[in-house]
Amino acid sequence: MARSAPRRRLRSTRPRLALLVGLTPMMMRALEGPLSLRMDVAAVAFPGDAFEAAASELQPCLVVVDVTYLDEARVRPLMIDRFSRKGPVLVFASESGNAWSDDLDSGCSGPMEAFTVAALLALVARPALTLVSAHPA
């Protein structure tokens, strides 16, 4: 009996990336360390050249934007436009604990019940099942 070729995993092996945008020092301390245990993390100021470069060059699966001192009504459409072709989950949060998520891949958006590291990770969790090809490549 001939052995079939091994099945290929279709899931990307590229490390996942969280992009933290304009976080206050308090929010940075709360998120950067715990998130970095599960994914790569990059942080940039907003607005500025570092943000422009990150928005152009990086492929984040999660973008957390601190709107504590920003007008969310102005920032949210800008971020959706900048990242719409990359399909990450955008989270707009403030130090008050309120947060809103926009999944640009699925089109789902709404308020988050809790703004915690666990809740952020749940937004970008990979499925437990892996799709495999029924036909060898």
Domain boundaries, the chain: 23-123
Please tell me the least confidently modeled range out of 41-50, 60-69, 121-130.
121-130
Q: What is the mean pLDDT of the chain?
A: 86
pLDDT at 6: 44
pTM: 0.81
Give the separation between CA 64 and CA 32, rounded to whole angstroms.
11
Give the separation between CA 86 and CA 91, rounded to whole angstroms.
15
Which ranges in 37-134 belong to alpha helices (H)? 49-57, 72-83, 117-123
Please say whether the beta carbons of 72 and 111 come within 8 A.
Answer: no
pLDDT surpassing 80 at residue 104:
yes
